[in-house]
């Protein structure tokens, strides 16, 4: 490996780190999984480390026919082979235990193919273990209840109940930024609900998802219930339009979601489409704590997080103090090789994405914005950047940056900060810093977002909570038990009670009197 010159705080990886990455992908089973089989015959799609272009592995270039075969096989399996709830729960419990035992391996696969540092990758593995545990525990969400027919004229003489049944086959389409836990957030609830699943992981980070499929198989998930297809001309279209796919769960951008909805037709779609998240720092807030949280929330995973802090509105009385602390905290962050423990910020997922972020910042500068720290690109790395004086028409304000850029803006009246925070097509999450409980609740009530976090930034997700947003941030909610409900439907069973006494006696005898 050619030695690189240190530029902008970046240092080359050691030969040992590169070799270690190579070993992490060598034992993957194949490049696609369907019809209960790993496929390797067309492994022509390369997966490279975004940091230095190192070839990590190859996956299959699949076809629409492969998708049809995958879906048809799962459909047949679900018709022919029962998989009781108890076995589903036990498989997910075993999967959580297996992942805990393989946590170092999975963390290094994540760090190798994605933008995450090794520290961030290890945290994602821990979260995935929790997601699997919560998925197993969500078996209780499949209970139903008796139907109150006695309170309806049409219900006279009828007995009934409902329970929850799987929707059928779920198409799970996942992004690059959380290649393990976001897969688990779709597959765990789908499987505990009794569904079959076709996973389409991001083509940028597919190795983690494929390794996860093997882990589920090892844990006892029937091979006929799952499939994974990564890439190939027409495969996405084939998956979302297949008539035997009953539900699409998609995490990504709004434009792709529009295309999916247009192509898929009348089927259930769950989508999480990102955010342009604001944090409001009120006049009575603890400025130091707010600044520390803003730095952590803006720059984790190099800003490639749907919950990243993108816009910060600070009361004019605290503006200089908060800005100084944010700039100081940002300067203390270290950009560097992902596998080094001292690295805080890794690369973006590609150099093209780093160039896009660079273009957006340059556009803001040309419009009058001030760069207090950062504003520099080196390959796929973009330095953590703090802006002020940003005109509201700039893309770093209007759109989701999905990069390490935060804009800090002053306000005088709280209602102006709330209005500015809501002035976006997204509505995922927001943060509010204030010592006043009543002020916090008043602001939370007015923010049009899926979650308001008090005395923290928007960058908070607890895997059990209902997760999603308003407006263009998506449709439906994730969060394990909430996803289980979305991926199952109530099914009624209604009994017409016998109308004659002899018929009643016969019915009672057949049910041992348990009416």
Tell me: the pLDDT tens digits for 431-462?
A: 999 999 999 999 999 999 999 999 999 999 99
Q: Which residues of the chain have pLDDT under 70?
A: 1-28, 500-515
Of 60, 128, 306, 394, which is the active-site residue?
A: 306
Which of the four CATH numbers 3.40.50.1370, 3.40.309.10, 3.30.70.890, 3.40.50.300 does domain 277-454 have? 3.40.309.10
285 dihedral zone (left: phi>0; alpha: psi -120 to 50; beta): beta
For 269-329, the DSSP string reads EEEE----EEEEE-TTS-HHHHHHHHHHHHHGGGG-STT-EEEEEEETTTHHHHHHHHHHH
**Residue (of 334, 21, 347, 464) closest to 207 by Cα position:** 21
Cα angle 306-217-42, degrees, rounded to a multiple of 5? 80
Q: Taking Cα atoms as reference points, which of 441, 241, 194, 115 lies closest to residue 124?
A: 115
Question: What pLDDT is attached to residue 151?
Answer: 87
- Which residue is listed with tokens 């439907």? 489
- The whole model's pTM is what? 0.90
Q: Which CATH architecture has domain 21-273+481-488?
A: 3-Layer(aba) Sandwich (3.40)
Phi, psi of 68 (to 5 degrees): -60, -40
Query: Residue 311, Cβ neighbours under 10 Å: how many?
Result: 27
| pLDDT of 499 | 79
The whole-angstrom separation of Cα 1 and Cα 134 is 43
Instruction: Give the E-state strand segments of 87-157 in sequence order.
Output: 145-146
Longest Cα–Cα distance in the chain: 93
Q: What is the C-alpha separation between 447 and 221, in angstroms, rounded? A: 42
Active site residue 306: yes
Residue boundaries of the structural domains of the chain: 21-273+481-488, 277-454
Q: Considering 272, 353, 478, 486, which one is annotated as catalytic?
A: 272
Q: Please write the tens of the pLDDT for every residue from 288-333.
A: 999 999 999 999 999 999 999 999 999 999 999 999 999 999 999 9
**Hey, is 493 helix, strand or coil?**
strand
Task: Decide if 272 is catalytic.
Answer: yes
Closest CA to 251 of 276, 277, 271: 271
């Amino acid at each position: 490996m050619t030695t690189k010159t240190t530029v902008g705080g970046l240092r080359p990886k050691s030969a040992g780190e590169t070799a270690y990455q190579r070993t992490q992908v060598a034992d993957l089973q194949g490049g696609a999984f369907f019809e209960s089989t790993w496929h390797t015959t067309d492994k022509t799609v390369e997966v490279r480390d975004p940091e230095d272009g190192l070839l990590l592995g190859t996956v299959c270039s699949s076809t629409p026919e492969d998708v049809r075969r995958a879906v048809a096989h799962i459909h047949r399996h679900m018709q022919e082979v029962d998989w009781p709830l108890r076995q589903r729960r036990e498989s997910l419990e075993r999967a959580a235990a297996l992942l805990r035992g393989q946590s170092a391996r999975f963390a290094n696969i994540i760090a190798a193919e994605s933008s995450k540092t090794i520290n961030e990758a290890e945290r994602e593995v821990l979260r995935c273990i929790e997601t699997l545990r919560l998925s197993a525990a969500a078996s209780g969400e499949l209970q139903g209840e008796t139907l109150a027919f006695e309170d309806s004229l049409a219900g006279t003489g009828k007995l009934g109940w409902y329970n929850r049944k799987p929707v059928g086959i779920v198409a799970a389409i996942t992004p690059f930024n959380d290649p393990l836990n976001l897969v688990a957030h779709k597959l765990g609830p789908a499987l505990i609900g009794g569904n079959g699943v076709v996973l389409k992981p991001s083509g940028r980070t597919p190795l983690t998802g494929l390794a996860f499929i093997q882990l589920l198989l090892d844990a006892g998930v029937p091979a006929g219930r799952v499939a994974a297809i990564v890439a190939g001309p027409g495969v996405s279209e084939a998956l979302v339009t297949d008539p035997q796919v009953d539900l699409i769960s998609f995490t990504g951008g709004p434009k792709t979601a529009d295309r999916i909805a247009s192509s898929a037709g009348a089927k259930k779609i769950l989508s999480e489409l990102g955010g342009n998240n604001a944090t409001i720092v009120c006049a009575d807030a603890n400025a130091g704590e707010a600044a520390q949280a803003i730095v952590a929330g803006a720059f984790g995973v190099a800003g490639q997080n749907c919950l990243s802090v993108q816009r910060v509105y600070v009361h004019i009385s605290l503006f200089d103090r908060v800005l100084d602390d944010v700039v100081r905290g940002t300067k203390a962050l270290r950009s560097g090789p992902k596998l080094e423990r001292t690295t805080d910020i890794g690369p973006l997922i590609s150099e093209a994405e780093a160039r896009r972020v660079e273009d957006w910042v340059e556009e803001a500068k040309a419009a009058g914005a001030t760069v207090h720290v950062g504003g520099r690109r080196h390959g796929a790395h973009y330095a953590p950047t703090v802006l002020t004086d940003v005109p509201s028409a700039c893309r770093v304000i209007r759109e989701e940056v999905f990069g390490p850029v935060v804009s800090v803006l002053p306000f005088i009246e709280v209602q102006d900060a709330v209005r500015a925070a809501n002035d976006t097509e997204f509505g995922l999450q927001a943060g509010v810093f204030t010592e006043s409980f009543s002020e916090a609740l008043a602001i939370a009530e007015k923010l049009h977002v899926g979650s308001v976090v008090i005395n923290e930034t928007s960058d908070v997700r607890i895997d059990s909570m209902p997760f999603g947003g308003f407006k263009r941030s998506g449709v439906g909610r994730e969060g394990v038990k909430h996803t289980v409900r979305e991926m199952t439907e109530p099914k009624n069973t209604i009994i017409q009670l016998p109308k004659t006494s002899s018929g009643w006696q016969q019915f009672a005898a057949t049910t041992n009197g348990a009416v």
